[in-house]
Structure 1
Amino acid sequence: MFNLFKKNESKGTSICSVASGKLEKIEKSIDPVFSQKMMGDGLFIKPTSDEIVSPIDGEVVMMFPTLHAIGLKDEKGNEYLIHIGIETAALNGEGFKSFVQVNEKVKKGQLLITADFEAMKGKITSSDIILLATDGRKCNINEEKDVTAGEENIASFE
């Protein structure tokens, strides 16, 4: 996980939306770690619901104990990080519920985690849900728009 300097030769992996909400380019993130692509290229969603789903068919390879971030790997070996909210690690898992475990196989659109964003108001900077490729691939967003959790072909990584 986090092979930031390893070039992955896999091309054009299409993903589905990790949440319902407004799809945005990563450069618009309020967190410079994400907007400056320090951890990889990607996208984010301003959520309108509390459900976070898998963008790929693959496997859970990492879950932070605080449940604010989860690492996935697809069948081609491509690596992804879903980071839920900004400054959510400080909540120590409060407001999060996981529906998967490390080493579990997952399918596109499968529920991974719920986040009670209403209960988190005033405790976090943002509820934005970040999706990154942590293996050096570039993200191509089809268009910034409203999306639904599990909606196919919202972006691709190559």
Structure 2
Amino acid sequence: MANGATTDPDIAACDSVKDLDARIAGCTRLLARKNLPAKSQAILYLQRAQGYVRLRQFDRALQDYDASLKRNPNFAIAHAERAVVYNQIGDPDHALQSADKAIRLDPNYVLGHAARGNALGQKGQFDQAIAALNKSIGLDPKQQWLYISRSTVWNANGETDRAITDLDTG
């Protein structure tokens, strides 16, 4: 510890990406503290939601994303990540609402456009889905998972050759 600084064990736990149970417990303990600013609470709920997502506890994750957004309605990351969870549970309508809100808040947010594309793909709106995924790829062409997402939409639309090309790119 440099200069005698100490690290709060709850903060360290809440930041953990390896021990998800510790992450959730640390964030929970921090949220129980009094007088935290709303934006700090929003971040803690987001971090706990991310732990729940990795544990595939989607109902809990959605509750925490909602709690995060109650404290900071303009938190584009929480809107986009919530959209991803809605996509994972097969609720493209709510995913689209969350993704669109993330994009309104941050027009260049890659995850917002990708979540929008995945939701539109689930709804069978393939041309719009491809356009949204093209936008996300245009914003960050080095992200392989974006090509994989777009390949899924190409494949669902019967465009196997394009799907394979994206898989080769990704």
Could you say which TM-score interval applies, normalised by the shorter chain? under 0.3
* Structure (1 or 2) with the greater helix fraction: 2
Normalization by structure 2: what TM-score? 0.21
Normalization by structure 1: what TM-score? 0.22
Larger radius of gyration: 2
